[in-house]
Chain A
Amino acid sequence: MKLAITNLSHVYANGTRALDGVSLSIPAGMYGLLGPNGAGKSTLMRTVATLQSPTSGSIVFEGIDVLKSPEALRRLLGYLPQEFGVYPRISAYGMLDHMAILKGIAHYAERKEVVEALLHQVNLWGVRKKALTGFSGGMKQRFGIAQALIGNPRLIIVDEPTAGLDPEERSRFLNLLAEIGDRVVVILSTHIVEDVADLCTRMAVLAEGRIVLEGAPQELVAQLRGRIWEKTIDRAALGDHVAAHRVISTRLFAGRTIIHVASDAPPGEGFVPAAGSLQDVYFSTLRASPRAAA
């Protein structure tokens, strides 16, 4: 079971090159797609989800040429878009039931079982009769997750799934994904590094429409071991440090700034070795990408 993306490029009508020669080979399991806003993640997700035709390239999943037979892929697909709306005047149950029919579960009793289980699973059972339009962001997101899981999908694409979820919901959701994740291909597109770090067996970083990094998170973190240094400085000193070092990330802590610097050798006074995290991998990759640095 494998999703093969080869040389995928997409140029929008206004000339924006959203994808630029993207090639990925995604095996079964959770696959994290990291990238800053505007990197082309959603374009890639939509293209794989058959919603958009690329300018060039190919996508093959389990022998299905996705661009030639999108209908065949859709039968295996569970998709949670980054943003979605709902029909007015329809309840969570009604809409999920409707989606189940669309996904090919026509038999009433079977559908009832699936829909009810999913509603329990995403913890919407208590509000199943309420109109979706009245749902909060988190509730809506949970609904989106539920519909993506209908019908035993072989390929699950979730685009920024944890946006709007509170920590508890987020962990529930990640657990849910993890449970399914080892049997099917799950692509998790996000800009939140923790999501990938917690879940994914493999990942890629997308920036400016290109894959700039690909691998297993642990290996990638391991590669950084001993190369990340941390220093706590005054905010005023940030400019000097940025000029002097390869600063990959900064964050505030108790009013002072903690910077991470990538360097093969100790960068100087005040720096202490930091335990490399996926966060550091991500940011160092982005800083290394010349175009993304701007």
Chain B
Amino acid sequence: MFLRIAGFEFRYQLRNPILWIALTVLGLLVFYVTIGPNSIGEGPGVHKNAHFKVTQLYLMLSLIYMFVSTAFVANAIVRDDETRFGPILRTAPITKAQYLLGRYAGAFTVAALGFLIIPAALFAGTLMPWIDPTRFEPNHLSAYLMPYLCIALPDIFVTSALFFSLATMTRSMLAAYVSVVAFLMLWVGTVAASLNGHGELAAYIDPLGRAAIARTTRYWTPDELNTLGTPIYGVLLWNRIIWIAVGAAALAWALSRFRFGERMPRSARRRAKDAQPSEAIDIAAIRVPATEPRFDGATAWAQLRARTRLEMAQIFRSPAYLVLLGIGLIFTVAGLHDLNPTWGTPSLPVTRLMVQLLNDNYKNIPLIIAIYYSSELVWREQDRNVHEIVGASPIPDWAYVVPKVLGVSLVLVSTLLVSMVGSVGIQLFHGYTELEIGKYLLWYLLPNAADYVLIAILAVFVQAISPHKFVGWGIMLLYVVSRSQLSALGLEDHLYTYAQGPAVPLSDMNGQGQFWIGAWSFRAYWAAFAILLLVLSHALWRRGAETRLMIRLRRLPRRLNGAAGGIAAIAALAFAALGTWCLVNTHVWNVYRTARGDERYSSEYEKLFLRYEKVLQPSVTMVRVKAELWPHQRKLVTSGTLDLVNRQSVPLSEIHLRMRSAETKWTMLAVSGASLAKDYPRFQYRIYRFARPLAPGATARIAFTTVRQQIGFRNANNDTRVVDNGTLIPNMDVVPSIGMDRAELLQDPDARRRNGLSAELHPAQLEDLTATRTNMFNGDWVKTDIILTTDADQTPIAPGAKVADTVQGGRRTARFVSEAPIQNYFSIQSAHYQERHVRHNGVDLAVYYDAQHARNVDRMLTASAHALDTYRSTFGPYQFSHIRVVEFPVYVTAAISFAGTFPYSEGFGFIAELSDPGRIDYTQQVVAHELAHQYWGNQATPAAMQGASMLGETLAQDSAQMVMGKYAGRDQARRHLQQQLDAYLFTRGFERKAEVPLARVESGDNVAYQKGPVVMHRLRDVLGEERVNAALRRYLARFRFRPAPWPRSLDLIAEFRKGASPAENQLITDLFEKITLYDVRTKAAQVRKLADGRYETTLTVEAHKYYATGDGKEREASLAEPVGFGVFASMPGWGAFDAKDMLGRRSVPIHSGEQQIRFVTPAKPAFAGMDPYDILIDRHPEDNIVPTTG
């Protein structure tokens, strides 16, 4: 009987059209993704038919599939109540278990088999002849099957069992769906959020197994991701067992609670008792007053209010809405609670950050509400079968349509308000009491409400003309998908992308700047269009029983007669006028650009000019700049001269000048003794030819004027450099550059391929000595004289000693002159600043900050002092009389090191929440890093080639690490290093480019920033601090302020090698010139009490060393190196661990394979392990320390 019920259910569900529609859509989606350039889930570069990638595909799609499988399993149980067939069935001679489990089994089988459409479509995609073969490997059955068996099938089982049980208990399809949504959002909010920390707990509690996979594969290399099978062991295996058991338990629970008896329908339970009095009342005695209806303005107003009230009550009082709001609140909290941490240190919950996080995390709920409730409102009368009564009443159509739009708008506003309340709650929870409700309203509530209402109006219109609710949903889904896909087709113009406009980047310093003007202009433009849609919705309204669109279309002209037509005409006029205004702004006053267009521009640039890269150029020796900034007009006029000298050994006949920023126009350009030979005005690239070639040592001069000004607003990419309050612009954007280089060329391999370029753009190879003629700034040592004028209420800042500062006629002018040679690399800044200065050992330490961000200013000053003292004593003199940290808006989250001047984004550091002393004080770390660049970069400037970032970023990280160890304590420095190691190991699997050894690092990526300091730490550990510092000093002395040839990474490595033993030399090779990884593990630690009362700990350890190729293929190397061991009274790095808990530590030479190490300590150790402080680049740092036994 069980099988017969299951079989019936199976066949029944196969006839369900939802099944076939869903499978078709899923199949097409997978096929489309397979043959296209994108992929689903983690690991964009991994082969699309490899185990890992198939697993990701299944994982992501099983989220969507939950809705499909729930539709089957919940329907299997709920339909008997809905069709009222239940009583017939339940009185048949079947048992509860046969009935319930049979139904479940049948529906589950359909869902499980249906999922196979995904591998089938993937497989079909791999057979297409035009696919990019580098994205695939030969098809293996196991790569399709194993993830299906280990991931997809258990996931379908768990979720369907859970929702089947819920549906069984509630007998409600809606309840099942609401719980799917709730489950999904909770999952996204908790599990997905915890993925970033790859937490161990999440690996067990994630019912779908995604966190377990992320945890297991977190350090996998590209090669491993491509070749290793599904990791069905360890945490993933446990996860699967736990959740299959939970699924089974849910079924058992449903079975035990399920009663065959008829459950009273809800309506019956609450049925009103008819209050019929026993004796009939005399009807004739009741006079219904003959009130004549009136149809005037007051009535219309009353009708509008009554309808609005009704629509709102219908939504606000519905349980589904309350659930949705609750989910929204949970979602807000989940998305916002960790406050955008940097290295584990959260930010202060400033309103700007909260709004950004809300915008990132709280997009889908209002969108769903806008689309869902619009359709509910439009179809409500039909759905509730009230359409005839209401339709026949003398209420005008507009009083019918407008309240619906008002209703959905107020619902949207209320959802946004709830998220806002959640956000304020989080602020208060963190003790942050500067509640800026005004900012919430202007930055969050109003713009979002307007945008979502526009979408709701579109949805109302679509539903008004759709023959069925589902058709309307389908159209809206297409619209939502198209919003994200249009830019891939190069269609980005907001003149035709409904309800969209230019982004409004937020800043504490600059507020909404002038960005809001463009955004609201487009909003007004689309609002006018939306009014047209509304009038059309009104005129085409499906009133009463009339559902045919053709009939309604025929009525349209007549119904547009009168007020409706008048409103439509006004809206159309407004639409045209606002459209013209937007068009003029985005296409006439500004250049309309698209992402694809910019790619094309860059590729053409590369094709035209990269060949000039090696053309020898004169060097700049003196820069004189006069910059006039009008912040409120967003205008910067820069004029000046560049003195040139020919430092080459041959005469130079040409000079190549370019303006890198397309937004800045040069209005005057002249080179003494040279004339314009070739001009590429579109690219602002000019070649001047000297009348007489410039002899070695001869000089020349460039005179220039450039103008950068944004008038009105753009479709996108509004200028964030020259702004109202917080201008930061580097010299390359306003001063002509000399000679071609590789900065700013296209990097993304897909974009390069699309535009007919080689897939990868590499810097010069380490062996290419001609590359040492150019440094990473493509410049030379110069002196600067910068005069910057801005509005009097702002502070002008540029590198150099300030020699004059005057205010005249509402304008403030300051002059900055360089005290030491600097690279031709500087910035201009201006904003309304507070200043704090400290005189420290002859140097003026200063922070220029916004009044709202005084909190960490003293920390920055302290960091400057600490770093200055450390570097002076370790590396040598500091070249300037000042250290300026200058805040700038969060349009970029970074700190940059210009000569003695560090622009530091308001987005981190300034708002770091450091009240807990256990947190990493990255605010100080960043200052120390930037100050270190005054040595590593601004004294010794690396050549523009492989390894440049090692000489810049790695050394700056290492120096900052040194300061942190000295002042914040070894423990914090060590924890920060562990974070760096974790980040390096985690990201290396997902890099698009092949990994290179540190000496060949090609950009400022995870190798330079994160692996670099770990490598330097090991080097310092083995060679000793003093030897490493001496090598750094020698390197610095050799290249300090010296002209070309510029240093290579090998020059520094050579210094490290001086006086090194063969073993040390090998280590240096492993660290810098190879990709070396270790796998060390403590298997056991046995403690024995000795006769003298002391304790002997015997550690059994296993160690291996590997060399890896660029894509992560590993080969074992013989290991013979000293490695640190330690025994501890408590777990190091945890809770109350204290330095005195370290009972013994020593370095022991070890070899590949298993071995035993002995320690004798006076106290009994509780923990022991190998490489306890993660000095090695160990792929499994979590198994280094174990609790002792015995």
A31-39, A43-51, A222-230, A274-282: which lies at the interface: A43-51
Report Cα–Cα, A211/B1058, bound state, in Å. 114
B288 pairs with A149, CB closer than 8 A: yes
A110 at the interface (CB under 8 A from B): yes
A50 pairs with B389, CB closer than 8 A: no
B1 at the interface (CB under 8 A from A): no
A53 at the interface (CB under 8 A from B): yes
A215 at the interface (CB under 8 A from B): no
A85 at the interface (CB under 8 A from B): yes
A121 at the interface (CB under 8 A from B): yes
From residue B383, how far is it (CB to closest CB) to chain A in Å? 8
A120 at the interface (CB under 8 A from B): yes
Across-interface contacts of B283 in A (CB, < 8 A): 121, 172, 175-176, 179
Report Cα–Cα, A152/B318, bound state, in Å. 34
For B293, B299, B384, which residue has the most chain A Cβ atoms within 10 angstroms? B293
A52 pairs with B544, CB closer than 8 A: yes
Number of interface residues of A (CB under 8 A): 62
A113 at the interface (CB under 8 A from B): yes
Across-interface contacts of A84 in B (CB, < 8 A): 385-386, 388-389
A102 pairs with B394, CB closer than 8 A: yes
Known: A106-B298, A120-B286, A172-B280. A151 touches B392 (CB 8 A): no
Report Cα–Cα, A113/B286, bound state, in Å. 11
B286 pairs with A117, CB closer than 8 A: yes
Report Cα–Cα, A189/B1119, bound state, in Å. 98
A152 pairs with B293, CB closer than 8 A: yes
B314 at the interface (CB under 8 A from A): yes
From residue A131, how far is it (CB to closest CB) to chain B in Å? 7
Across-interface contacts of B291 in A (CB, < 8 A): 105, 110-111, 113-114, 151-152
B31-39, B244-252, B265-273, B455-463: which lies at the interface: B265-273
B288 pairs with A51, CB closer than 8 A: no
Across-interface contacts of A106 in B (CB, < 8 A): 294, 298-299, 301-303
| B370-399 near A? 1/0 per residue, CB < 8 Å | 000000000010001111111111111000
A70-78, A239-247, A260-268: which lies at the interface: A70-78
Cross-chain contact of A123 among B281, B295, B386 (Cβ < 8 A): B281
| A101-140 near B? 1/0 per residue, CB < 8 Å | 1111111001101100110110111110011011110110
B548 at the interface (CB under 8 A from A): yes
Known: A13-B548, A77-B392, A106-B302. A121 touches B286 (CB 8 A): yes
Indicate the size class of the contact surface on chain B.
Answer: 35 or more
Known: A106-B299, A127-B274, A172-B280. A121 touches B288 (CB 8 A): yes
Across-interface contacts of A79 in B (CB, < 8 A): 388-389, 392
B284 pairs with A133, CB closer than 8 A: no
Report Cα–Cα, A158/B313, bound state, in Å. 29
B287 at the interface (CB under 8 A from A): yes
Across-interface contacts of A15 in B (CB, < 8 A): none
B127 at the interface (CB under 8 A from A): no
B395 pairs with A102, CB closer than 8 A: yes
B489 at the interface (CB under 8 A from A): no
Across-interface contacts of A102 in B (CB, < 8 A): 303, 306-307, 390, 393-395
Report Cα–Cα, A49/B292, bound state, in Å. 20
A83 at the interface (CB under 8 A from B): yes
Across-interface contacts of A125 in B (CB, < 8 A): 275
A87-95, A199-207, A285-293: which lies at the interface: A87-95
B384 pairs with A49, CB closer than 8 A: no
A101 pairs with B267, CB closer than 8 A: no
A75 pairs with B293, CB closer than 8 A: yes
From residue A186, how far is it (CB to closest CB) to chain B in Å? 15
From residue B396, how far is it (CB to closest CB) to chain A in Å? 7
From residue B400, how far is it (CB to closest CB) to chain A in Å? 9
B129 at the interface (CB under 8 A from A): no
A147 at the interface (CB under 8 A from B): yes
What are 14 A-to-B residue pairs whose CB atoms are below 8 Å?
A: A49-B388, A51-B545, A75-B394, A81-B392, A84-B385, A101-B303, A102-B307, A117-B288, A118-B288, A125-B275, A136-B271, A144-B389, A151-B293, A176-B283
Known: A104-B293, A104-B295. 6 other contacts (CB 8 A): A88-B314, A98-B310, A105-B291, A106-B301, A117-B288, A136-B274
List of 9 A-B pairs having minimum Cβ-Cβ separation, nearest first: A126-B275, A51-B544, A104-B293, A85-B385, A130-B272, A106-B302, A74-B394, A81-B388, A79-B392
A residues adjacent to B (C-beta < 8 A): 13, 46, 49-53, 68, 71, 74-75, 77, 79, 81, 83-90, 98-99, 101-107, 110-111, 113-114, 117-118, 120-121, 123-127, 130-131, 133-136, 138-139, 144, 147, 149, 151-152, 168, 172, 175-176, 179
